Structure 1
Amino acid sequence: MRWLLTFVIALVGGFAGAAVWSYAGFGDEATRTYLMANPEVLPKAMEELNRRQQSVRIGSLRAELELPFPGAVLGNPEGKVTVVEFSDYACGYCRMSVADVKRLVKENPDLRVVMREYPILRPESVDAARMALAAAEQGKYAAFHDAMYAIGTPDAKTIAEAAKRAGLDMDKARAAIGSGKFDPFLQSNHQLASQIGISGTPGWVIGDQVIDGAVGHEALASAIAEARQS
């Protein structure tokens, strides 16, 4: 089936019509007959091609993806298996996934969850993301993360309440936020998300896979098991 993958690459590269058929000797009748009789192979081949291309993109960015903002890690900071989560505190699906991540961390003592703040849903999401990084600086990221999702939609009042519950030194947090030091990290998260094809939240990178949405514990656990074997 090597010719089929080449055919799909030609499609992706922008070849069309007779140019495709003439590419790499595709003009033979047997090839045309096979494709007409088995058109379902084309979507499958495209899916495989996209998977391989995605794997290459992740591989080229893995070191950057898996390097967290200091302290913005759940689970075992020295864990051998890494999950990267792109999240937004205004995202209801991210809130739904909190319990899944807690369960996965409990089940996998060597699991390291690198949190990437990806505030895209509302202006207050940015404020919450900045406070989360201020909490990470103070060694209280998990406490703020849990409190913020427990309280609900971020706004000035709920962010302050989550910070209070997490026990943050608010003077230090406000000073750090006011310095603008967290903004380059948030911008980098947006760039990484764009490069690997994440456009919404939650978005996950596990092994060579990008997974979109609140897919649930079982799907995430399966991806983690696959990553262990690779």
Structure 2
Amino acid sequence: MSRHFFAAAFAAIALTAAVPVQAASFSESQQAEIGDLVKDYLMKNPEVIRDAMEELQRKEQVAEAEARKSGVAKYADQLFNSPRHVVLGNPKGDVTLVEFFDYNCGYCKRAHADMQKLLDEDKGLRVILKEFPVLGQGSEEAAQVAIAVNKLAPEKYKAFYDELLMSRGAVDGARALVVAADIGLDKAAIQAHLKDPEVAATINESYGLAQALGINGTPSYVLQNDVVVGAVGYDALKEKIKSVRACGSVTC
């Protein structure tokens, strides 16, 4: 057995912890020799550490993606059929795209145009919006008002959503109520509806789904059985939707 092979083997063990090696299995002199061999090998071949870290990252990403797919399958009914969510586009569309968003999310604001373009062009697309306030108290207040708007006047939710999401500056409950009034809704009626337990239940449902799917930021999307994190842009979303129609997956 060559010196380099021996050192590489122990380097792999040290980096990945894939095989437990008990120090008691070796004498002190053997342990010292092994340590020297590993150190010597890594000093001469530092790229081994980089390669090991890249492989570890790849495995973690694969495991994370598989866990998310399992989560989508497990919670599919809540994701795609919950009476609490808002549906845009074709309610009977052949492809459903779920978006988790926050009214104070700058990337969500940028992604709004992408979503609108998809809805305008694709008459078979069903979009589900999940209120997912993760950027502070103001976001939670705005989401509460949005849910109340949807309950009281669902036909006006889209106009409310468009105006509030594209508002300049920080968004909170007060700003949301102003927008609601701008589109002709009664502020007092909305404020009264904020006490409805369904308002909190709707937000908690989104939190629970996000936790199950490993979603902790916005915007995040669920398409078919995959989770897409971040504002990936119009072209990427369109291509994934095209793939779902072609082969039932976001990648064919």
3-state SS of 1:151 partner:
coil
Q: CA deviation at 1:45?
A: 5.4
Answer yes or no: is the 8 Å Cα contact 1:81–1:227 preserved in 2: yes
Contact 2:145-2:173 at 8 Å conserved across structures: no
Q: What's the offset of the Cα at 1:123? A: 0.3
* Residues in 2 aligned to 1:135 and 1:200: alpha-carbon distance in whole angstroms: 24
What TM-score do you get using the length of structure 1 for normalisation?
0.78
Q: Determine the C-alpha separation between the residues in 1 that align with 2:118 and 2:111.
A: 11
The answer on whether the counterparts of 2:140 and 2:172 sit within 8 Å (CA) in structure 1 is no
**Which residue in the other structure is 1:118 paired with?**
132
CA gap of 1:112–1:88, structure 2 versus 1, over 3 A, is: same
CA distance in 1, matches of 2:65, 2:85: 31
In the TM superposition, what is the alpha-carbon distance from 1:46 to its structure 2 partner? 5.1
For structure 2, the residue ranges without an aligned partner over 5 or more in a row are 1-15, 22-47
Of 150, 169, 173, the residue aligned with 2:166 is: 150
1:79, 1:109 within 8 Å by CA — same for their partners in 2? yes
2:72 aligned residue (52, 58, 61): 58
Aligned CA-pair RMSD: 2.4
Q: Identify which of 15, 18, 21 aligns with 1:16.
A: 18
1:61 CA drift (Å): 1.1
Aligned to 1:195: 212
- What is the count of residue pairs matched by the alignment? 200
Matches within 5 A, 1:66-145: 66-70=80-84, 72-137=86-151, 138-139=153-154, 140-145=156-161
- Larger CA Rg, structure 1 vs 2: 2
Alignment-derived partner of residue 184 in structure 1 = 201
Structure 1: segments with no counterpart, 5+ residues: 1-13, 20-35
Q: TM-score, normalised by structure 2?
A: 0.71
The offset of 1:167, in angstroms, is 2.3
Residue 221 of structure 1, aligned match among 223, 238, 245: 238
User: Is the CA contact (8 Å cut-off) linking 2:85 and 2:130 kept in structure 1?
Assistant: no
